[in-house]
Structure 1
Amino acid sequence: MTRFWPNAHAFVTGAGSGIGAATAIALAKSGVRVSIAGRRIDALKATAAMLGEQAGAVVAIDVTVEAAVRKGVAQIEAAAGPIDILVNNAGKAGSAPFDKTDAALWADMIASNLTSVFLVTQAVLSGMAKRGRGRVINVASTAGLTGYAYVPAYVAAKHGVVGLTRSLALEYARRGVTINAVCPGYTDTPLVADATANIVAKTGRSEDEARAALAKVNPMQRLVTPEEVADAILWLASEGAASINGQAVAVAGGEVLTG
């Protein structure tokens, strides 16, 4: 059975759908109080309704804006207590060949996928260190472990998330806090739905053909489910993972082999 600290409090960003929602629900089912954030308050409320008695604070935050992050974290801790487990899930994907990747797309991908992790972690981590316990799990991607064509800004941002994870893991190793990343492959989420629509628009393939093309990358020949990623996060957040630190765990059916 997965064990957590008594009265543990988790904060999940990007929890309105996909991996974030699945993670929030899995933590709540394990007895963890869960606060959630994102930009779409209606979607967040739908997730919160599935958390039952373990629902904590629900806050709309743009995690790319420092002042908003600081204010949101303060609201969450005032309402639901100190944060013991942070899951940095918020992010988005944008594609373009390198010669058509303009500064705006580059900045958006870095801000949404990397700067957001920096800002939220910085707002939470010092408190964890002072209390001598904590878990930070960053949702990166297999794009943080290998390269993919036509998504250079996204790949660079996710590599940055993995690098930040490893650096902070060493810096906080003696303070009772572990910092790890999960790196999902193509997962059946709204992000992949957007990628599928992009393939359909650009190639004329059917939606089923586009989804099959993405699934083919996985040696299991299928998309990963949000719940499978959530289960990996659940383990990393638990007391039993106290010696797992600075790792980037691929959840991708063997697409990327780490070791």
Structure 2
Amino acid sequence: MSNNKFHGRHVLITGAGSGIGAAIARDFALSGANVTLSGRRHEPLAALAAELDQAAGRKTCFVASGFDVTNAQAISTGLQAAQAAFGPVSILVNNAGEAPSAPFEKTNLEMWSQVLAVDLTGVFQVTQAVLPDLKTYGANARIINIASTAGLTGYAYVSAYCAAKHGVIGLTRALALELATKGITVNAVCPGFTDTPIIREAIAQIMQKTGRSEEEALAHFVKANPQNRLIKPEEVAHTVLWLASPDAASINGQAIAIAGGEVLAG
């Protein structure tokens, strides 16, 4: 059901083409916001934009493809186009990320550097580029970083990902203090294993490599969650919308786990 809770607000979401990013975009679009869908690939972004424009009954999305969070020029170009379409950004959702897995001894410098470039430095670069817009907007401007429970605890075979997401939590907390007097809040959302295409691909790979059934492969991911299930992307999206609302004005510098009780303290 659509509403106008975020009418006139310009939301920029990185990595918006699928999974959690797409779910967040749907919620904002149906809540009256103007949404910039950014990412590297045009096709999934354009398809999502068409879906959301139709669902909202209006032109609600701008597609910023070629938006590589590791490339400062690509960020600048995409941001300028988004501003021309919808004006200054007042809500930033840093969602772009990747999570390759490998034992630490087989994690080469190239993999390490790439994961940190996308998952941590990308958050830094996009936030720094958008910050002038947010400061101009002032009260109720928002920065919401999609981190992970991997930013709150450790997991084997994803050392680079854990390091990057811990960095995102640290950046979130530092920036929250810097911007508190500007009316801008900065928070992180930390999902556990979530039912996204990435997880479905991982399940397929486990089935192929080990001969396990889909149910057995899925059990590998849900065993850490006391509710014994994957998190739904919509659950993450709903939390993001709450953090973006005036109701959450006093929530600042927090890392909110959405993981069924897997992580009990941030």
Relative to the length of structure 1, the TM-score reads: 0.95
Aligned residue among 191, 197, 207 for 2:198: 191
Tell whether 2:175 aligns with 1:174.
Answer: no
Deviation of the 1:50 alpha carbon: 2.4
Q: 2:261 — aligned with what?
A: 254
Aligned residue among 110, 115, 124 for 2:116: 110
Deviation of the 1:206 alpha carbon: 2.3
SS of residue in 1 equivalent to 2:171: helix
Give the percent of matched residue pairs that are identical in Structure 1 and Structure 2. 57
Tell whether 2:27 aligns with 1:32.
Answer: no
Distance across 2 between alignment mates of 1:13 and 1:140: 13
SS of residue in 2 equivalent to 1:51: helix
Aligned residue among 51, 60, 63 for 1:55: 60
Deviation of the 1:8 alpha carbon: 1.0
Q: 2:90 — aligned with what?
A: 84
Deviation of the 1:188 alpha carbon: 0.3
Aligned residue among 146, 149, 172 for 1:165: 172
Computed over aligned residues only, the root mean square deviation of the Cα atoms, in angstroms, reads 1.7
Distance across 2 between alignment mates of 1:112 and 1:56: 24
Relative to the length of structure 2, the TM-score reads: 0.93
Higher relative contact order structure (alpha carbons within 8 Å, sequence separation ≥ 6):
1
The residue identity in structure 2 corresponding to 1:121 is T
SS of residue in 2 equivalent to 1:10: strand
Superposed CA deviations along residues 44-65 of structure 1, whole A, max 9, x for unmatched, are 0111122222523211111111
Runs of 4+ in 1 over 6 A off after TM superposition: none
The residue identity in structure 2 corresponding to 1:58 is V
Aligned residue among 199, 212, 215 for 1:208: 215
Distance across 1 between alignment mates of 2:25 and 2:112: 29
The residue identity in structure 1 corresponding to 2:61 is G
Superposed CA deviations along residues 11-64 of structure 1, whole A, max 9, x for unmatched, are 111111100000000011111111111112110011112222252321111111
Distance across 2 between alignment mates of 1:2 and 1:107: 42
Distance across 2 between alignment mates of 1:250 and 1:23: 16
Distance across 2 between alignment mates of 1:103 and 1:226: 31
Aligned residue among 221, 224, 232 for 1:225: 232
Distance across 2 between alignment mates of 1:138 and 1:155: 15
Q: Is the 8 A contact 2:195 2:230 kept in 1?
A: yes
Residues 65-144 of structure 1 aligned to structure 2 (within 5 Å) = 65-133=71-139, 134-144=141-151
Q: Is the 8 A contact 2:226 2:261 kept in 1?
A: yes
Where does structure 2 lack aligned partners over 5 or more consecutive residues? Answer: none
Deviation of the 1:202 alpha carbon: 4.2
Tell whether 2:124 aligns with 1:155.
Answer: no
Q: Is the 8 A contact 1:2 1:240 kept in 2?
A: no
Q: Is the 8 A contact 1:34 1:54 kept in 2?
A: no
Aligned length: 259
Distance across 1 between alignment mates of 2:211 and 2:227: 25
Distance across 1 between alignment mates of 2:113 and 2:102: 13
Q: Which is further off, 226-235 or 202-211?
A: 202-211
Distance across 2 between alignment mates of 1:6 and 1:189: 28
Where does structure 1 lack aligned partners over 5 or more consecutive residues? Answer: none
